Structure 1
Amino acid sequence: MKRTPLAHVAHAVDTALAWTVGILWLLPLVYAIWTAFHPPAYATHFDLSAPLSLDNFRRAWIAAPFARYFLNTIVLVTVIVSAQIVLCTMAAFALARLEFRGRDVLFALILLQLMIAPEILAVVNYRTMKMLGAVDTLWGIALPYLTSAFGIFLLRQTFKTVPKELEEAARIEGCGTFGVLWRVYVPAARPIYVAYGLVQVSYHWNNFLWPLIITNSVETRPLTVGLSVFSSVDQGIDWSVITAATLMTAGPLLGAFLIFQRQFVQSFMRAGIR
């Protein structure tokens, strides 16, 4: 179909807006890359003849125990996302397919939790972790996030779209409740799991406020909290080292996105269609 002049104008406007947003998003990243790979003297101005250097990354790695920060972050993300997928799957299946008293009330309470910002619960969660003796531990960071109201809601809505005939056929073949869940419902929700997992990995990799509140020592800090050592008022701010440390922190996620961007987009599209 041939486009009308108005459609051409709308397309041109959309394209211009997309380029504008893209450039605005890229500018801080370009500045961070430039500053991280050049000596501090070139942090405030661009000079194409400036020499490339990895010294800022070496200084950043020495200035803080990044190996420990990376290990803590990887452990936290792995434990939290794995626990969320398992617990949210079982809760969503129960709310979608099992009949029990108070099911609708329980689901309403879960939806209510979605309306509460995590920051509001920081004080209560801290007092709870203190009672459990989990302050300044990796478990103290992970425990409040081991399940997710959003994950339960998302998977419940997906499970409710699965035809009951598939469940009945699986039971005829001899599957129990967990067999039905594993062989019927989980495969049907695979795009949802991928999309949800990507969102949660990104969120918990970059989570800052709660780890900052609950940790006191270097041994338990994740990457985001560890970055704060580079902004010490006493030592001044060295933007070259800060940007190098920031790139080391964001690099794994950015690299994963660039490599698997097609799978990322397809997962979110399939999740949206459902």
Structure 2
Amino acid sequence: MNRALDTLAAWLLGLLWIAPLAYAAWAAFHPPAYATRFDLFAPLTLANFAQAWASAPFAQYFVNTFTLVTMVLVAQFVLATLAAYAFARFTFPGRDLLFMLVLLQLMVMPDVLIVENYRSMSALGIRDTVFAVGLPYFASAFGIFLLRQTFKTVPRELEEAARMEGASALQVLMKVYVPLAKPMYVAYGLVSVSHHWNNFLWPLIITNSVESRPLTVGLQVFSSTDQGIDWSIITAATLISAAPLLVAFLLFQRQFVQSFMRAGIR
């Protein structure tokens, strides 16, 4: 009985999740006249995608977004790896207190820090840049927590064997811990990329030019036209923006689910 209820709940949640995507696909691949009504014989078209691409500088938005998510992900991997290794394998005064402060950061909503982050970016003179969009997110408490949990499960015998071979602490980290944590890196990478790909409020506030705006901010041009809202064009532009994330998730969904299941078990 419980299994049947779990299955039913999963199906209902799945339908709720896929309904907006199904509507977006319907409206994007059909003429505007069919955007709000269902017709099995409605003609298919790619004109909405062509018009959406021509209506905004998508090439620049994609470049900005790819630059942003790559920059943030690399910084988070480096900083979170070093911090997680220190918290997992080194003993030093105040370690537990520092880790508690890291966990407390998880409870702080990023929107609370928008004003101070804006002041900081202004003081540094980097407003309206892709770097300013990503800088506040370079350090990730979530990434530190996940990698620390993973590193703590690595047998100490492997580290001791590497040290007996003359490996330094950094070499042990790169040759022992990082390879064993690859599934977690994949899972966290998907989370990080998805979050910063879809982040809207902070990029909207800190940028005001095409040269630095990511896709999410660029999409607002489709909802501020004098001709009214054309759902076919909006959904086409949305699918263009979301396509890379959907492909990435489909390619790595198994590693994504398995990694977080293992993290939960620990």
Contact kept? 1:191, 1:270, Cα under 8 Å? no
Q: CA deviation at 1:35?
A: 0.5
Contact kept? 1:60, 1:245, Cα under 8 Å? yes
Q: CA deviation at 1:160?
A: 2.1
Q: 2:136 matched to which residue of 1?
A: 144
The TM-score, its normalising length taken from structure 2, stands at 0.94
Q: Provide the secondary structure at the position in 2 that maps to 1:219.
A: coil
Q: CA deviation at 1:264?
A: 3.0
Q: 2:168 matched to which residue of 1?
A: 176
Q: 1:127 matched to which residue of 2?
A: 119
Structure 2 counterpart of 1:16, one-letter code: L
Structure 1 residue ranges without an equivalent (≥5): 1-8
Distance 1:96 1:262 in 2: 26
Tell me whether 1:202 sits opposite 2:216 in the alignment: no
Q: Provide the secondary structure at the position in 1 that maps to 2:211.
A: helix
Q: CA deviation at 1:267?
A: 3.3
Structure 2 residue ranges without an equivalent (≥5): none
Match of 1:63 among 32, 35, 55: 55
Moved more, 224-233 or 121-130: 224-233
Q: CA deviation at 1:218?
A: 1.1
Tell me: CA distance 1:185–1:127, structure 2 relative to 1, closer, same or farther (3 Å). same
Distance 1:157 1:211 in 2: 31
Distance 1:23 1:105 in 2: 44
Distance 2:189 2:224 in 1: 34
Q: CA deviation at 1:34?
A: 0.7
The residue correspondences of 1:1-274 to structure 2 (distance < 5 A) are: 9-232=1-224, 234-274=226-266
- What do residues 126-148 of structure 1 show as CA deviations (whole Å, max 9, x unaligned)? 00000001110011001001110
Tell me: CA distance 1:267–1:159, structure 2 relative to 1, closer, same or farther (3 Å). closer
Distance 1:183 1:259 in 2: 26
Question: Higher Cα Rg: structure 1 or 2?
Answer: 1
Q: CA deviation at 1:233?
A: 5.4
Q: CA deviation at 1:205?
A: 1.0
Q: Percent identity?
A: 69
Structure 2 counterpart of 1:206, one-letter code: N
- What do residues 234-262 of structure 1 show as CA deviations (whole Å, max 9, x unaligned)? 34211111000000011111122233333
